[in-house]
């Protein structure tokens, strides 16, 4: 039995199709990532799976329980951390944790071993109001609260949005550790660089799943040549490259532009076509998940 099994799930809000016939399954003990930009339908999918919304079409089960019929059972089995900070800012760290423990009918002591690796970071601030914590600490507290009842499946909706780079990295380390304790984790993120921390990822956009695979396989399936190009005048370089022969796509990527090419592409011919660019460098580069995402999105 899969931990999460989703079968052509659809949900619309008015005329907008937030989710369009989504199907996939998550293995028990897997760290599964939903990667996609804002408006991809990630939050809607999480709300459906946590039984906060009812689907228009299709079905889904969590640990074998139906999200519509058995929603009360599911609510006590899963842990949910919404995208927005959803704790009480006027209560202290400790009071928040105690409240959520009571909500699930457990005590903090009973679950301390599970939350300790996360909670120990914020325990020195336990008398501080949650609203006065930094972004990273808020996320740790929210995760501790979501874990307090030892959920079998954990849903994390954009847990690292608004968190600094170091804390984001720490956060994913914690998730990897939780995975070893047998908790199935579904996390969504708009950051492509976080995708490599997942066992498997689903790329999604505008309510559709574009592809599901391990981060490595997703990258391996990339079948075009890719170059990173740089020059002094980056804007004109982008414009000129897009017009060149054999170029499928050119887009800004960090400090360079990524150039996707087909078999017609010839490096020397391309340089001629570009004309005069100061400090022009063209180096072949390995594709990333983001390159794959852009490619899938254009299709």
Q: Which residues bind another protein (CB under 8 A)?
A: 47, 50-54, 72, 75-76, 78, 80-82, 84-88, 90-91, 95, 98-100, 102-105, 145-146
Cβ nearer to another protein, comparing 52 with 282? 52
* DSSP state letter for 194: G
Residue among 260, 264, 267 nearest 292 (CA): 260
Cβ nearer to another protein, comparing 94 with 273? 94
CB of 109 to another protein, least distance (A): 14
Beta bridge partners of 60: 6
Q: Cα separation of 231 and 246, whole Å?
A: 20
Residue among 194, 206, 200 nearest 298 (CA): 206
HSE-up of 272 (CA within 13 Å, CB side)?
6
CB of 2 to another protein, least distance (A): 20
CB of 75 to another protein, least distance (A): 5
Token pair recorded at residue 261: 């090419």
CB of 53 to another protein, least distance (A): 6
Q: Cα separation of 144 and 177, whole Å?
A: 13
Cβ nearer to another protein, comparing 97 with 219? 97
Cβ nearer to another protein, comparing 99 with 253? 99
CB of 96 to another protein, least distance (A): 9
Token pair recorded at residue 30: 């897997």
Cβ nearer to another protein, comparing 78 with 114? 78
């Amino acid at each position: 039995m899969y931990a999460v099994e989703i079968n052509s799930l659809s949900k619309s809000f008015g005329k907008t199709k937030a989710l369009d016939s989504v199907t996939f399954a998550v293995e028990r003990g897997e760290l599964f990532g939903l990667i996609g930009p804002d408006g991809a339908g990630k939050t809607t999918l999480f709300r459906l799976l946590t039984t906060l919304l009812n689907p228009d079409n299709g079905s889904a089960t969590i640990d074998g329980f139906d999200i519509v019929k058995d929603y009360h059972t599911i609510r006590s089995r899963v842990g949910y951390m919404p995208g927005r900070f959803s704790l009480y800012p006027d209560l202290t760290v400790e009071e928040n944790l105690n409240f959520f423990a009571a909500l699930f009918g457990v005590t903090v002591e009973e679950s301390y071993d599970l939350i300790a690796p996360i909670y120990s970071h914020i325990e020195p601030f336990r008398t501080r109001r949650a609203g006065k914590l930094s972004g990273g600490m808020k996320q740790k507290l929210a995760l501790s609260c979501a874990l307090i009842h030892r959920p079998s499946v954990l849903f994390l909706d954009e847990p690292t949005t608004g968190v600094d780079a170091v804390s984001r990295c720490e956060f994913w380390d914690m998730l990897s550790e939780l995975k070893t304790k047998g908790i199935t984790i579904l996390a969504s993120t708009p950051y492509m660089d976080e995708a490599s921390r997942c066992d498997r990822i689903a790329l999604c956009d505008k309510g559709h799943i574009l592809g599901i695979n391990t981060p490595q396989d997703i990258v391996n399936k990339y079948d075009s040549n890719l170059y990173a190009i740089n020059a002094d005048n980056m804007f004109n370089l982008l414009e000129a490259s897009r017009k060149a022969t054999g170029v499928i796509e050119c887009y800004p990527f960090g400090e360079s532009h990524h150039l996707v090419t087909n078999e017609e592409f010839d490096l020397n011919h391309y340089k001629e076509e570009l004309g005069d660019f100061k400090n022009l460098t063209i180096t072949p580069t390995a594709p990333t998940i983001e390159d794959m995402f852009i490619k899938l999105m254009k299709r």
